[in-house]
Amino acid sequence: MSLSREQMLVEMGISPIWVLRSPVLAGPADELLQHEEQTAVPSISLEDEQPAPPSANATNPVSQVPIGEVGSLDWPALAKRVAECRACSLCEQRKQAVLGVGDTSPEYLFIGEGPGADEDAKGEPFVGQAGKLLDSMLASLDIARGNRVYIANAVKCRPPGNRTPEASEMAACWPYLERQIALLKPKIIVLLGKAAVHAVLHDDKSLASLRGKRFDYAGVPVVVTYHPAYLLRNLPDKAKAWEDLLFARRTLREQMAPELPF
């Protein structure tokens, strides 16, 4: 399938702009739109929670030592290790670690940054406002969490105040993501935002310069797009994200059936 830019914008429900509120639009792009309407005011929760009382972890301090061998763990053992992990200071204020969610034999692996307040409370990635937009993005590809998709984060514990995780925290948490990728064997990895790009590709270039290119992680194609939380604040870039998703789907199809002309 080859869509013109105009068709892509229409599918995203953002061109022409006055079409945005048209009731005739239906389907995934419309869900993106509805979500946008509900979140006209930037809605990323930035409020922080009360820090945990200093005594809470007195008997279980941050270890600050690298995580031991996780390369041989199966899913239950990995989940237990992550739940108990104290390898970086993000463990101190988390309610719970958030491993990931979805199909464990997926085509797509989406990787975000780290849990926010909603994810920290629920134990599942992308369940807040950004998650609703991510679900709409998935729907635009005719996929859904749990069906051909797994969703994970660069760090498993919520950075206080939703700050960007530090490089040292992403490095500390990397063995878990590395093991998840090895277990999942996705056909394509979609990196959502700069933190995920840093964690997986070790690249700090601008997203604009990385979009639309195919990278490789351990033989798995990797593509890059904007983080949904960024898109909630930057409506025009949704069109670019839509282009990126189409590129991801094309790349996936090439990967799965390189002999077929798509």
| Contact window for ligand URA (CB under 6 A) among 30-38, 83-91, 111-119, 183-191 | 111-119
Sign of the torsion formed by the C-alpha atoms of 196, 135, 176 and 117: positive
- Cα–Cα distance between 76 and 48 in angstroms, integer? 31
Residue 170: CB minimum distance to ligand SF4, A: 8
Task: List, in sequence order, every residue forming a beta bridge with 153; answer none if it has no partner.
Answer: 112
Residue 66: CB minimum distance to ligand URA, A: 23
Q: What is the dihedral of CA 238, 239, 245, 246, to 10 degrees?
A: 170
- Considering only 13, 100, 114, 165, the residue that binds ligand URA (CB under 6 A) is 114
Residue 78 engages ligand SF4 in binding (rule: CB under 6 A): no
Binding mask 172-211 for ligand SF4 (x = CB under 6 A): xx--------------------------------------
Kindly calculate the radius of gyration of the chain based on its CA atoms and give it in whole angstroms: 19
| Contact window for ligand SF4 (CB under 6 A) among 44-52, 86-94, 191-199, 221-229 | 86-94
Q: Which does 112 bind (CB under 5 to 8 A by kind): ligand URA, ligand SF4, none?
A: ligand URA
| Total residues at interface with ligand URA (CB under 6 A) | 13
Residue 97 engages ligand SF4 in binding (rule: CB under 6 A): yes
Q: Which does 100 bind (CB under 5 to 8 A by kind): ligand URA, ligand SF4, none?
A: none
Alpha helices, DSSP H, located in the chain: 5-12, 28-38, 75-84, 117-122, 129-140, 167-184, 194-201, 207-210, 228-233, 237-256
- Considering only 8, 33, 87, 224, the residue that binds ligand SF4 (CB under 6 A) is 87
Residue 82 engages ligand SF4 in binding (rule: CB under 6 A): yes
- Cα–Cα distance between 180 and 114 in angstroms, integer? 15
- Cα–Cα distance between 95 and 97 in angstroms, integer? 7
| Contact window for ligand URA (CB under 6 A) among 78-86, 102-110, 123-131, 199-207 | 123-131
State the residue for tokens 């290790």. Answer: 81
State the residue for tokens 């702009």. Answer: 17
Site for ligand SF4 in 40-69 (CB under 6 A): none
| Contact window for ligand SF4 (CB under 6 A) among 23-31, 100-108, 167-175, 197-205 | 167-175
Q: Which residues of 149-185 are buried (b: 16+ CB within 10 A; e: fewer)?
A: bbbbbbbbbbbeebebbeeebbbbbbbbbbbbbeebe
In terms of CB distance, is 13 or 159 closer to ligand SF4?
A: 159
Chain residues binding ligand URA by CB under 6 A are 112-116, 119, 125-126, 128, 130-131, 153, 229
